[in-house]
């Protein structure tokens, strides 16, 4: 695999960028790559964090809090995500001074120029699959650049400027920003209705994904699930439109080009057997639990092979992947109880993680501390969230984490709890965070697995539960 050609590594607008919300997963990754390429990067975030500290070690200036004075006099651009509000003082200062405002997706797209982009899209599983590719390609010595929506093993490990020609990126559909990318190979893991503030129907979702597929390079490849109905419908639409990229499907379905023949669980790991598109079988290990993670690994294998990485070598390298923060991440063990952190916040993700953990729990029980994420998502999917929690032996539900949203009248965690109880779940509503940790620790006994689940700050309660288990 070749080394990336000698190119200007920093676009002129990115020579002195200022990031508003630099501590976010997507923003910090782009800032890191730019700093590694020699840009003088600065930014601000609402609070201090390990990510901010990791950026400072790269020479990035990170301000805490938002103020017009943080914007340097020689800033060449201001980088924002869709979460930044119009009344942000730094954004207002940029407008007043005529400094170009660049969306995060445009900044990331500019970093891919001159390289071989591999973009990972889908409603669920993007971070895991992107991470699998980044880790395995690095293990093969290909030194890819990558930008991931989560840290691999330490703060700041969500991105890297590599010397190799491949650039692996997580492609976010939530605000249609993945329309900015032009990948050589695109992965679509699944297609479901989510992000209700931006999409009103499945037709809008399909149209958005079709636009993304239309951005694939001429002669490029689309790798897409053969098992997920939304992905199959998208495949039908893409093929019916004529032209477009080569389509390679993967999954357990009989008509899959790369077919998953078997997934054998071994505690919190799995062994996967696949039949390759060109014929022949291949077996390899996946060091994370659950069938859905195994299928993510097969998507990564298929995409890597489409970029001329030998499948046998890539399969072996995929076994070196041990997870990413917040994706079934073991936080610790106390008194025989394991505490695991899950980022799952959509019913499909919740179900997949609970089924995966159930497979590795043995005789132990699965206990969940769940924090709903976003009022709009709870309004639309609260019933399904409650039904997913019925897969746990017992659960506690916190108040909704609002993130960027204002409350919606009548939308509370009780929507989820009522649905869970109707589905036969043992569930309680806990509004006090300290009481929640105490309640879950009090329920646990040796052999149990405890999941802190949700996309908000519920992750912070894992260590508290572990501390209470030792008392």
Domain with residue 190: its CATH number is 3.40.1190.10
Could you tell me if 166 and 310 lie in one domain?
yes
* Catalytic hit among 32, 126, 325, 331: 126
Asked if residue 211 belongs to a known ligand binding site, the reply is no
Average of pLDDT values for 81-92? 92
Q: Flag the least confident range among 2-6, 217-221, 461-465.
A: 2-6
Instruction: Evaluate if residue 195 carries a pLDDT over 90.
Output: no
Residues 283 and 359 in one domain: no
What is the rounded CA–CA span in Å between residue 139 and residue 396?
40
pLDDT higher than 60, residue 2: no
Average pLDDT over residues 148-175: 84
- Annotated ligand binding at 128? The verdict is yes
125 is in an annotated binding site: yes
- Of 318, 341, 372, the domain-final residue: 318
Identify the domain boundary among 69, 102, 135. Answer: 102
d(CA 57, CA 354): 37
What pTM value is reported for the model? 0.78
Choose the catalytic residue: 90, 93, 165, 170: 170
Residue 170 annotated among the catalytic residues of the structure: yes
Same domain, yes or no, for 249 and 363? no
Same domain, yes or no: 82 and 172: no
Identify whether 380 is a catalytic site residue: no
Same domain, 88 and 122: no
pLDDT digits (tens, 9 = 90+) for 217-239: 999 999 999 999 999 999 999 99
Query: Do 268 and 133 belong together in one domain?
Result: yes
In-domain check, residue 5: no
Give catalytic status of residue 126 as yes or no: yes
pLDDT at residue 246 above 60? yes
At residue 320, the pLDDT reads: 86
Same domain, 177 and 30: no
Domain annotation covers residue 254:
yes
- Could you tell me the residue range of the domain that residue 404 belongs to? 327-469
Residues 369 and 290 in one domain: no
Q: What is the pLDDT of residue 1?
A: 56
Does 98 carry a binding-site annotation?
Answer: no
Question: Is 3 part of any domain?
Answer: no
Find the CATH number of the domain harbouring 38.
3.40.50.720
- Is residue 179 in some structural domain? yes
User: Is 456 marked as binding a ligand?
Assistant: no
Q: Which CATH number fits the domain that encloses residue 390?
A: 3.90.190.20
Same domain, 258 and 340: no
Q: What is the pLDDT of residues 268-316, one digit of tens each?
A: 778 999 999 988 999 999 988 778 889 999 999 999 999 999 999 999 9
Q: Is 264 annotated as a binding residue?
A: no
Residue 7 domain-assigned (yes or no): no
Q: Which of 102, 127, 143 is the last residue of a domain?
A: 102
Same domain, 385 and 463: yes
Q: How many domains does the chain have?
A: 3
Confidence of residue 382 (pLDDT cuts 50, 70, 90): very high
Residues 124, 259 within the same domain? yes
Residue 331 lies inside a defined structural domain of this protein: yes
Instruction: Give the pLDDT of residue 289.
Output: 76
Kindly name the residue from 32, 76, 90, 127 that is annotated as catalytic.
Answer: 127
Shared domain for 303 and 332, answered yes or no, is: no
């Amino acid at each position: 695999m070749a080394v990336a050609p000698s190119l200007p590594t920093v676009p002129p607008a990115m020579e002195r960028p200022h990031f508003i919300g630099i501590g976010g997963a997507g923003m910090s990754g782009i800032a890191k790559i730019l700093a590694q390429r020699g840009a003088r990067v600065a930014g601000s975030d609402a609070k201090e964090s390990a990510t901010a500290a990791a950026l400072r070690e790269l020479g990035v200036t990170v301000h805490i809090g938002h103020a017009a004075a943080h914007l340097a006099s020689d800033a060449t651009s201001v980088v924002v995500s869709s979460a930044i509000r119009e009344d942000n003082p730094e954004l207002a200062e940029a407008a007043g001074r005529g400094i170009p405002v660049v969306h995060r997706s445009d900044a990331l797209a500019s970093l891919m120029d001159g390289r071989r982009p591999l973009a990972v899209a889908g409603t669920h599983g993007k971070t895991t699959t992107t991470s699998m590719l980044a880790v395995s390609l690095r293990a093969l010595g290909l030194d890819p650049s990558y930008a991931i929506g989560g840290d691999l093993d330490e703060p700041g490990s969500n991105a890297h400027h590599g010397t190799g020609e491949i650039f692996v990126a997580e492609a976010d559909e939530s605000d249609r920003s993945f329309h900015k990318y032009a990948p050589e190979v695109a992965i679509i893991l699944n297609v479901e209705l989510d992000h209700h503030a931006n999409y009103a129907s499945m037709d809008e979702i399909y149209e958005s994904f079709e636009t993304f597929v239309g951005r694939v390079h001429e002669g490029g490849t689309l790798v897409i699930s053969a098992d997920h109905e939304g992905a199959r419908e998208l495949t039908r639409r893409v093929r019916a439109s004529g032209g477009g990229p080569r389509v390679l499907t993967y999954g357990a379905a009989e008509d899959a080009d790369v077919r998953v023949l078997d997934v054998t669980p071994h505690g919190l790991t799995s062994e996967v057997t696949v039949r390759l598109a060109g014929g022949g079988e291949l077996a390899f290990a996946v060091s994370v639990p659950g069938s859905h993670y195994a299928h993510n690994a097969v998507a990564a294998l298929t995409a890597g092979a489409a970029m001329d990485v030998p499948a046998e070598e890539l399969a072996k390298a995929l076994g070196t992947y041990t997870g990413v923060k917040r994706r079934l991440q073991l936080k610790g063990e106390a008194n025989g109880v394991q505490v695991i952190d899950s980022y799952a916040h959509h019913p499909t993700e919740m179900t997949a993680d609970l089924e995966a953990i159930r497979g590795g729990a043995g005789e132990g029980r699965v206990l969940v501390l769940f924090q709903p994420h976003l009022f709009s998502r709870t309004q639309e999917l609260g019933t399904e969230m409650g039904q997913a929690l019925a897969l746990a032996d017992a659960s506690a539900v916190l108040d909704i984490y609002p993130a960027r949203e204002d409350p919606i009248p009548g939308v509370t965690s009780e929507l989820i709890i009522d649905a869970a109880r109707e589905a036969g779940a043992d569930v309680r509503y806990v509004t006090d965070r300290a009481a929640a940790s105490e309640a879950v620790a009090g329920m646990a006994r040796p052999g149990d697995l405890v999941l802190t689940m949700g996309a908000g700050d519920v992750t912070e309660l894992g260590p508290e539960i572990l501390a209470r288990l030792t008392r």
